[in-house]
Amino acid sequence: MDYRGKKPIFAHKITTKMKQKRPFLLLFVMSFLLSCLFTEMRAQSFDQYFEDNTLRLDYVFAGNSSEQHIYLEQLYKQPRWAGRRSRLSEKFLNGNGQLTVRDHATQEVIYVWTFSTLFQEWLLEDEAKTLSRAFESSYNIPYPKAKVDVTVTLTDHHQQVTASLTHTIDPADILIRPIGDKGIPFYYVWKGGQKAGKPEKSRASRRYEATEFDPFEDVNVAECIDFAILAEGYTEQQMGKFYADCERAVDALFAWEPFASLKDRFNVVAVAAPSLEAGPSVPHRGVWKETASNTHYDTFYSQRYLTSQDMHTIYDLLSGVPFEHIMVLVNSDTYGGGGIYNQITFATSDHPTFREVFVHEFGHSYAGLADEYAYDDMDTEWYPADVEPWEPNVTTLKDFASKWADLMPEGQPIPTPLDPNVPDFRQARENPDALAKLNAATQVVGVFEGAGYQSKGCYRPAQECRMKINEVQDFCPVCARAIRLITDFYTSVAPR
């Protein structure tokens, strides 16, 4: 998603984690027994079908606005599996695409992964009416023990399947290419709730050798969500800056709720892929650079939309690193970014809004949150009225009961009129009282018209939110709940 929000001023809120009370011993014992049972069932299900390795699937999605096709490009095997080990056949959000893995012998669904793609965003551009193009995508699934059938589907904004490919994979296929460490140094900056300390200088400037030390020592890859930050536009000499920037990213992510309360469920690994030149490509200034991930601004001719179309290259750079979610950290002070659900986040390191943009984009890629802002002149209908969007924080009112109806204050009208006492974001930049009022508006739930780029027919849960403007630091209660629930899903915690 293109981030075109407004520039912010800085404001911070410290939120302390509420300690859960367990007043009844019986309840405690029961929950302990249940959790043991749950853990046991979970391990059985994973171990029955999968080994602790990763199968990487590289595809090409191609076509135009009237027809789309999916092609398999290459399969890879790499050590360890960093993804979820339970609720394997469930899907949490629909996304715009789905990867379904079936046991070949029984046709039982044994793993599901949903996602969105840059290709599908491009399909809504005018260019897609007259031109066919190809986009890369890569996905990791746990390495199967026996033959599996993998089905990849893409869906349109009416949630109808527009392209599908099914192929059988024999895990013993000799053409599945094993890949491991590519010699790119990587270091944990966050391990399950704690800062992991700065890497030693000598290690940062030298190629990582697997025999020298175990980078996975005391990292709980199986239980935590593994988030990789990939260096982009940093030269070999700038890796000290890269690690410092990664620490700022981690500080930004865990400073605010709901991530502050969830920080013990994440690992963050910094992957120091060097670029020959500093900074990304900026086509609108005629600047092109030799960089590791080939990122550039001006995606779909939108100046601030910073992406890369080289997904296979990005996955190559991450070889040997256990990860589930990717952020490409771009060494630049030019405003921009992008975030695609279960695919990738792009953020720039040195713009004053770095913290806000990074958390916003991560909201897209991690929790499937939609943009809550609107344009008056948007022609494209991203969210047609006859379909309830799959994104948890927008609604067309087609099926509002499935969204945040349970969080609505009593008597709150639908649609909810804007509160005229909430100040404009421009006022909030100058005035701390106005900022406090603006931020308070994030916590008032309603159904406000204007979201998902559309000024009409699509509604958001709060007047202001982290997914709408940079001036506020908080997510609205609907976005916050979505982040908590998807974190529970990935980390096998029963919903609270």
Residue ranges binding Zn ion (CB under 5 A):
393, 465, 467, 476, 479
Largest CA distance in the chain: 68
Instruction: Report the residue number, 269 or 482, with the smaller CB distance to Zn ion.
Output: 482
- On the CB side of 104, CA atoms within 13 Å amount to 13
- Please state the closest distance from residue 476 (CB atom) to Zn ion, in A: 3
Q: Considering beta carbons, is residue 148 or 479 the nearer one to Zn ion?
A: 479
Q: For Zn ion, which is the closer residue by CB, 57 or 479?
A: 479
Instruction: Specify the residue, 250 or 465, whose C-beta has the smaller distance to Zn ion.
Output: 465
CB of 403 to Zn ion, least distance (A): 12
CB of 460 to Zn ion, least distance (A): 7
**Distance between CA atoms of residues 60 and 96, nearest Å:** 15
Q: Of the two residues 269 and 428, which places its CB atom closer to Zn ion in the complex?
A: 428
- Are the beta carbons of 305 and 338 closer than 8 angstroms? yes
Q: CB–CB of 88/266 below 8 Å?
A: no
| Shorter beta-carbon distance to Zn ion: residue 141 or 359 | 359
Rounded Cα–Cα distance for residues 495 and 42 (Å): 16
CB of 480 to Zn ion, least distance (A): 8
Of 367 and 476, which has the nearer Cβ to Zn ion?
476
Nearest approach in angstroms of CB 475 to Zn ion is 5
Contacts of 153 (CB under 8 A, 6+ apart): 97, 98, 100, 161, 163, 164
Task: Give a three-class secondary structure readout of 83-124.
Answer: CCCCCCCCCCCCCCEEEEEEECCCCCEEEEEEECCHHHHHHC
CB 328 within 8 A of CB 310: no
Of 230, 233, 228, 239, the residue nearest 203 (C-alpha): 239
Minimum Å gap between C-beta 402 and Zn ion is: 16
Min separation Cβ 468 and Zn ion, Å: 7
